[in-house]
Structure 1
Amino acid sequence: MGELCARSVLVTGANRGLGLGLVQHLLKMPNPPQWVFAGCRDPKGKQAQELQNLASKHSNLVIIPLEVTDPASVKAAAARVEELLRGSGLNLLINNAGTANPTSLDKETLETMTQTYTTNTVGPLLMGQAFLPLLKKAAQGSPGSGLSCSKAAIVNMSSYAGSIEDVYVWEFGQVVSYRCSKAALNMLTKCQSLAYREHGILCVALHPGWVQTDMGGSGESFKPPLTIDASVQGILKVLSSLSEKETGTFLNWEGKVLPW
């Protein structure tokens, strides 16, 4: 299994949690990407302070203002990334930005369903569309006919909670809007894998594990089983090993296939 050798990577929702962890680990790799683009809603805000500190120490890290639910923001981010890449493509798009609403079935509303679905499903759709030209360019500029994350790939951060066959941790929380949005994201990933395969782009849905983050829960009463570091190390190892066999699949941070 080789190391991930992507020249350029974009991570959405990169100012905290798993997104920030991915950026930190990408920068620490023995052979780090030439470009790490960190998308976040408010680059100058308090919640992006750690990201700003990292950017001041790493010239290959660029913070990109990005609201994945806003088509104009997504287009502007794609234009900025294209400008910085100067004719080369984007190897790896990690759609990590997400939201969860801890609501039970009887309390879900049009607003909670729409907001969660727009961020978790429509966001990755818009990102895939906007960055497709740059991903295609990366695929064309890479040697070999196979698919890989070092060549051109879309990685959608999904969740085992979106599995219809095995409704993961239902007893812990119904989070219906979140589950529905991730089930839909899994189908989007499948559709992207079929539509973008001819362009040499690998697409995969990835469950990062139940991670100790603001969204996953990190309180004293209950701690999710996985640290951000453990999850990210697993994710990067899995990404380095993916090939055309795995495009359109639903995997966890250890590379295990999950039921749809």
Structure 2
Amino acid sequence: MAKRDFTVDSIMVTGSSSGIGLGLVKQFLKLPTPPQWIFAAVHDRDEEKNREINNLVSQNSNLVLLYLDVTDRKSIVAAAEEVQKYVGGSGLTLLMNNAGLMFNTTLQDETAKEMAAEYAVNTIGPLQVSQVFLPLLKMAAERSPQEGLSCSKAAIINTSSSGGSFELMGQFNRLQNIGYRCSKTALNMLTRCQSLVYKTFGILCISIHPGWVKTRDPEADLTVEESTQGIMNVLSRLSEEDNGTFVDWEGRRVPW
């Protein structure tokens, strides 16, 4: 992937109250030319859980906090209407479907309720958010002077996991997490479908594995900063040839 200048007019990141989502917001704020608008979408209205992102909002006039439940279409529509007020006819350049849910389950104790909840957030959530925000993404693509596909033109980035890879089955000996894995495998299929349909609108679509990150597991390999710095570098280099692929935080192809 060839290195390119990385500028993004506007971006929305779901799951921004902590972990990788919050880390991505910080990375975009630190760009030499930050986006005109960064929309940090959070699910929980708890002030303590949102303390860090609220502090960032108070310090950065281009950062907007949104309350968004990816399992509730009305909530998604309300968020899109709010984004529209800020971006106007410029549209939304980059949508990062990062919100996720995982229960520590085994094959024996996985339940229908837990699995359904994981699918609702990890698979159906990105589907619905992408559907509702599609007009804004198309708007950004149409006004862009760039040829081909890129994250600077219009893109959907779905946060996946090597745990959803049939070949890798990442960390299975430690954490089976059956419902989570299945939901991420389904998310990868969604990405492939989006890439085939949305490319006609000028929108790039990929799945990305952020690595094994120290969000909840202290034995993990990467800090949030290491993961998100890597993701930023990957985003800056993505092009049309990467559309519909599954890559990791270092830009390496991940087997489906």
State TM-score, norm by structure 2.
0.97
CA contact (8 A) 1:43 1:64 kept: no
Mapped to 2, the partners of 1:88 and 1:231 lie a distance apart of 29
Aligned to 1:253: 249
Aligned to 1:232: 228
Question: Counterpart of 2:169 in 1: which secondary structure?
Answer: coil
Q: How far is 1:180 from its partner?
A: 0.1
Gaps of 5+ in 1: none
The total of aligned residue pairs comes to: 254
Q: Share of identical aligned residues, percent?
A: 52
Equivalent position amino acid for 1:238 in 2: V
Cα-to-partner distance string for 1:108-157 (whole Å, 9 max, x where unaligned)? 11101100010000000001100000000000010132000010000000
Question: Counterpart of 2:89 in 1: which secondary structure?
Answer: coil
Which of 5, 16, 19 aligns to 2:18? It is 16
Question: Counterpart of 1:107 in 2: which secondary structure?
Answer: coil
Mapped to 2, the partners of 1:172 and 1:44 lie a distance apart of 32
Aligned to 2:138: 136
Mapped to 2, the partners of 1:236 and 1:3 lie a distance apart of 12
Gaps of 5+ in 2: none
CA contact (8 A) 2:146 2:153 kept: no
Q: How far is 1:3 from its partner?
A: 3.6
Q: How far is 1:166 from its partner?
A: 2.0
Q: How far is 1:2 from its partner?
A: 2.2
Aligned to 1:202: 204
State TM-score, norm by structure 1.
0.96
CA contact (8 A) 1:160 1:168 kept: yes
Mapped to 2, the partners of 1:40 and 1:174 lie a distance apart of 27
Aligned to 2:48: 46
Mapped to 2, the partners of 1:161 and 1:204 lie a distance apart of 16
Q: How far is 1:25 from its partner?
A: 1.0
Aligned to 2:113: 111
**Runs (4+) of structure 1 moved beyond 6 Å?**
none
Shift of the 86–44 alpha-carbon distance from structure 1 to 2, 3 Å rule, reads: farther
Equivalent position amino acid for 1:156 in 2: N
Question: Counterpart of 2:65 in 1: which secondary structure?
Answer: strand
Q: How far is 1:40 from its partner?
A: 0.3
Mapped to 1, the partners of 2:180 and 2:173 lie a distance apart of 15
Mapped to 1, the partners of 2:235 and 2:6 lie a distance apart of 7
CA contact (8 A) 1:43 1:63 kept: no
